[in-house]
Chain A
Amino acid sequence: MGYLLAIDTTAGTSVALIKDGRLLAQSQSELGLKHAEQIGDAIASVFAETGIRPRILDAVAVGRGPALFTGLRVGIAAGVMFAEAAGAKLLGVVSHDAIALSLYNLDGNLPNLPLLIHTDARRGEVYWALYGGLDENGIPVVLAGPSVGKYHEVAQGLRSEFGEFVDRTGGATADWVALLAELQLAAGGASDDVSALYLRAPDAAQPKPNQQFGKRVSG
């Protein structure tokens, strides 16, 4: 397999360049803000560090969320355009799947139970997905989600359907997005869907047809 660039802005601004499962360079900010400011330097730095030219990329993978909208969009927009510039194919990865992959590979103490991954969705809610281990290709098996809801309601529902589970929170990083995309490519299951996983409709109220302004005057 060739060079693959991954971009994920669901938590911090995260960019990684990998080849054959080997991480060549990564740029990672912990700050969950200022994605638009950071994205350019983050991408430029992995190429500067490795001396690799964008043109030789095979694929660009982006984290599709679910996540807070504003930051999420910056990463997807950048991924779409970088693939255009590099002439590389474009792949989409569910960011929670990448978090699951990292935990299954890094957390040796993970009990053999379904794994709930949840991240902050504001308004007292979480973005979540439930996983049942890795399949024969090393790819996390999705049992439920991704979706959004109040944590205790989500947990209650999952407990009645799946029994006990372990729960973890975290932030997606581009190295695991990249590795997951590579595994999916190898398994023939990579997706070119890079649409953002908002999971919520935009906040907007429809006005009443004859809505008027200011106080009504009498008479």
Chain B
Amino acid sequence: MVKVSIRPARPSDLNLIMAIEHVCFPTDSWSEESMREELSSAHASYFVLLADDLVVGYGGLSKVASSDQSDIQTIALSPSVRGNGWGKQLMERLLEEAVRLDARSVFLEVRADNPVAQGLYEKLGFAVIDRRRAYYQPDGVDALVMCLDLTGRPQRQPIVLGIESSCDETGVGIVRGGTLLANVISTSMDLHARFGGVVPEVAARAHLEALQPTLHQALAEANISLDEVDAIAVANGPGLAGALMVGVGAAKALAVGLGKPIYAVNHLVGHVGADVLERGQVEVPTIALLVSGGHTSLLLVRDLIDDVQLLGETIDDAAGEAFDKVARVLGLKYPGGPEIDRAAAEGDPKAIRFPRGLTLPKDMEKHRYDFSFSGLKTAVARWVEVAQDSGQEFSVPDVAASFREAVVDVLVTKAVNACLDHGVPRLLLGGGVVANKRLREVAAERCAKHGIELRIPEFSLCTDNGAMIAALGAQLVMAGRAPSALGFGADSTLPVTTVQTL
């Protein structure tokens, strides 16, 4: 099978394009110099048709920003590949480009002595509107001017590449509209293990080294070239400043280098946007509970790109951080989440009643949707100390299970309260702690009890990843939002109300 593909033309395609030009237009072919200018013109978009990576055709569209008309400049196919419908594919790509550039109509001229081409254009919806006498010289052949009305045509689903570097995961994801094409994550978790937690400088160094291989892998997984990317999205906060800056610098360079728009998006809202990739959209309104090593946030989402509110967040440690620290107290490895989950499997969650932070009536008045895990972590440490000092044997599984139960209980209770208080029948979970089995179980039980629909995207979309950033970027593109100006920075405390930094 011959693999046929279409991609934007590059200057290095010039020789092959000229070879086809000479064969197709023997008497009036363009000079190499004019073709070179065309290929590099800011007002023209040229594409090449590839059969097994060999250039066998090309076509160009011109569109001046100030006008809503566009013109097919040329289209040519090697004679040996005609009759396969490939010319139509190339034309359709040019028309998509015209739609993307907001053209309302497309014009072209065709030789009156070329009924095959004319037939193809008519099939695509073009109609003859004029005739120019003896337009093609030296042959003296008339040109038929044809026009196609593009108004009301849907935009092509944009291909968006997203970059995530807010913590210890370097993510590059690629989506087409709401469809996932690639999601590659490179984690520096192992490098942090001996420190017992994420070290910002270690994470930032790892991002820089992971960028290029992660990008290459994502492009290979999506089976596209960078030229096909329509927009770049990047998480510019919240997160670790030095880590975010690596992604921001990388994303800006990609956008400028490709001549494509860039969208600076909110990392936390990205977690919510991940659901687009599984369900085609985020059903709203929804409460979102985002729990990771860096965040514990409860959001009310009425509209993914227009209306996200922060209901509450942790006032001290993130839930994932508490897992890491308690794991250390119990002599378990980093990261603590999976280790505690494993130890807890054999334990009794009711063995020890650890405190539930910010759940007393006086705390609930002020911090109804906020979390606190610092006191819990200290309570576990003290309990272990007392047990050790008294020389008494204690069960690590019981401590692990009881601690985990306290964390999960608070998380789910507050999330379900948020749903009930706001009359929102949906709860979406996101963040790395979603990997915790007990959290998923308790959330499922309590949501079922209250008639709340629970959404938990696949784990690779829950943990920090580039696909969710790309997905949120694609939603902004498809909603016709203007791209971000290039001057944005990394903002470690970016509020969730800022979905896009302009």
Contact = CB atoms under 8 A, between A and B. Distances in A.
A207 B10 contact: no
B252 interface: yes
Contact of B385 (A54, A70, A196, A217): A217
Q: By CB atoms of chain B within 10 A, which of A40, A47, A73 has the most?
A: A40
Given A53-B40, A86-B257, A196-B205, 17 more contacts: A37-B489, A39-B253, A40-B253, A40-B486, A44-B486, A47-B256, A77-B245, A80-B250, A82-B254, A82-B256, A85-B256, A85-B257, A85-B258, A202-B205, A205-B195, A212-B329, A213-B377
Given A40-B256, A207-B196, A212-B381, A80 B248 contact: no
Nearest to A44: B256
A219 B201 contact: no
A147 interface: no
Q: By CB atoms of chain A within 10 A, which of B253, B254, B258 has the most?
A: B253
A54 B201 contact: no
Interface in A76-118: 76-82, 84-87
A139 B173 CA distance: 41
A210 B384 CA distance: 11
Given A43-B252, A81-B215, A204 B195 contact: yes
A193 interface: no
Nearest to A214: B378
B119 interface: no
Grouping DSSP codes into helix (H, G, I), strand (E, B) and loop, the B interface class, with mixed when no group exceeds half, is helix
A166 interface: no
A56 interface: yes
A3 B194 CA distance: 45
B204 A85 contact: no
B252 A70 contact: no
A82 B488 contact: no
Contact of B215 (A84, A86, A203, A217): A84
B331 interface: yes
A82 B254 CA distance: 5
B209 interface: yes
B40 A41 contact: no
Given A74-B245, A77-B246, A214-B382, A209 B254 contact: no
Contacts of A78: 249-250, 252-253
B10 A87 contact: yes
Nearest to A38: B487
A56 B40 contact: yes
Interface string B209-232: 101100100000000001000000
Q: Give the interface size class of chain B.
A: 35 or more
A74 B248 contact: yes
A186 interface: no
Interface string B95-110: 0000000000000000
Contact of B208 (A76, A202, A206): A76
A20 B195 CA distance: 49
A39 B258 CA distance: 15
A69 interface: yes
B182 to A, nearest CB: 15
Interface string B255-282: 1111100100000000000000000000
Contacts of B253: 39-40, 43, 77-82, 85
Interface string A30-68: 000011111111011001000001111000000000000
